[in-house]
Chain A
Amino acid sequence: MAEEEKQSVRETAAPWEPNVVGFLCNWCSYAGADLAGTSRIPYACNVRVIRVPCSSRVDPLMILRAFREGADGVLVSGCHPGDCHYIEGNYYARRKLIALKQLLDHVGLDPRRFRVSWVSASEGRKWAKVVETVTRDLLEAGPFHYEENGDDQGRAPGRG
């Protein structure tokens, strides 16, 4: 086993562990993640996987809702362009995700918090690497709070 694979970020036993929500398409990325498991590739276990039929099923609403529910990062993963089980789903997904990416970057959200990857059913190793990268980046970025003072009462300045 290659040296880098044994060195999972998990083993560094960080005092805080990032919560990552992963939306994985059923046909490629989910199978890829499965392969990583059956091949016993060690990698960080921070991604909570939600299986979806296709990456184009992922509505930006779900991504934002995941943040609202406490995710520190969100990962969307699907088939490589050209390999979609539904032929063109991920092409549509790509445009949608480009748009979301533009907006999140614009409003100053840390780019490390929203990631997209193409992982095929045979890419168990790539999946493990993607998760390692995402987790390592989030360990650096720290927990996600949009509001400076956390749980407020929705009191906007000057509104009592």
Chain B
Amino acid sequence: MATIKEELRAAVKKLFDEDRIDYFVGYVEDYGHTFPAILAKGSDLSRLTFDRKSYNNLADFLPELRGSRVGLVCKQCEVRTLNVLAAEGQIERDKLVVVGVPCPAMVDPRKLPADEAGLDDLDESYWQEKCRRCLERNTPFADVFVGERASTPTPAEGWPLLQEVEAMSAEERLAWWREQMSLCIRCYACRLACPLCYCHQCFVEDNKPQWLDKSVRPENNLHYHIIRAIHLAGRCIECQECSRVCPVGIPVDVLNNVLARDFAERFGYLAGETAEAKPALTHYERDDKEDFIL
């Protein structure tokens, strides 16, 4: 029986051979890492893989390839991203070839064992938080599907880390976030790894007016994070890339989850669930609930 890697390589070869795509965006393995690559015809496809370290949200590379015909490996994270991007008019679906995969759940990079031989067997306690909440393990709208369909366990309720932070008192939360903000170096990797932060010019780059001071200090860092979370309100699809890429280990996604959770409860809205739902902030109900306005 062909492994998923072999099926994937064969499928991509076919896409190139039949001239259906100009580029293929997928994961490759080399020098001990699994990482994203943009492959063109004539590339060595023998490094293509899909494993439990296929972290990156590949939709992040679509703006760079706009105008080309692109094949893309889509796990559930990319599926929800594509739905949001489609609702926002950011992708040309007819130029995309979606390669579906059964997702085995990603292993939290902080919990990667030194010996990776047993990677495939690691249980839930090793997974990234998002994988326990995953709605569907198999790509629903695949043009090509490789591998064997996986079963989807019942999604877990809630966001464990968010719940932990919310259990604190307001003072404790203030101190906890201030501590986190003091660690941030404002590299903006969290923004750039996010497939939904696709602005050509981010507010942090504006200098007339300069909304955000360049000095790296907790208050400015907090401003950046709050505004980014607002810009992702009702859009963040919880792929956790922002947190994964943070070089200093700040769980940035907690802020996005605050709103994801609130919007789900308040407006019954889940970003990227369908391509049709109107983005939450471009829409309103006359009786939206709030309890703080004077």
Contact = CB atoms under 8 A, between A and B. Distances in A.
Direct contact of A and B (CB under 8 A): yes
User: Looking at B174, B223, B258, B294, which has the most chain A CB atoms within 10 Å of its CB?
Assistant: B294
B40 interface: no
A107 B235 CA distance: 20
Given A103-B226, A107-B226, A95 B294 contact: no
Interface stretch (A10-18, A19-27, A115-123): A115-123
B220 A68 contact: yes
B167 interface: no
Interface string A128-153: 00100100000000000011100011
B216 interface: yes
B20 interface: no
A146 B173 contact: no
Interface stretch (A36-44, A45-53, A57-65): A57-65
User: What secondary structure prevails in chain A residues at the interface with B?
Assistant: helix
A96 interface: yes
Given A64-B223, A103-B226, A108 B172 contact: yes
B290 interface: yes
Interface in A70-123: 81-82, 88, 91-92, 94-111, 115-118
B143 interface: no
A68 B223 contact: yes
B218 to A, nearest CB: 5
Interface in B188-238: 203, 211, 213, 215-220, 222-223, 226-227, 229-230, 233
A157 B255 contact: no
A106 B166 contact: yes
A147 B184 CA distance: 14
Contacts of B262: 98-99, 102
B211 A65 contact: yes
A115 B259 CA distance: 19
Given A100-B230, A117-B294, A146-B222, A108 B284 contact: no
A103 B258 contact: yes
User: What secondary structure prevails in chain B residues at the interface with A?
Assistant: helix
A154 B215 contact: yes
Contacts of B255: 103, 106-107
Contact of A147 (B178, B216, B281): B178
A153 B262 CA distance: 36
B182 A94 contact: no
Interface in B14-42: none
Contacts of B203: 61
User: Looking at B166, B267, B293, which has the most chain A CB atoms within 10 Å of its CB?
Assistant: B293
B171 A108 contact: yes
B213 A147 contact: no
Nearest to A151: B217
A135 to B, nearest CB: 13
A92 B226 contact: no
A108 to B, nearest CB: 3
B177 A108 contact: yes
Contact of A116 (B219, B223, B288, B293): B293
B277 interface: no
Given A91-B284, A115-B292, 12 more contacts: A60-B227, A68-B219, A68-B220, A95-B281, A96-B281, A99-B259, A106-B258, A107-B174, A109-B174, A146-B178, A153-B215, A156-B217
24 contacts: A60-B226, A61-B211, A64-B223, A65-B211, A91-B286, A91-B288, A92-B281, A92-B282, A94-B293, A98-B288, A99-B262, A99-B281, A100-B230, A103-B230, A104-B226, A105-B170, A107-B177, A108-B170, A108-B172, A108-B176, A110-B170, A111-B292, A115-B292, A116-B293
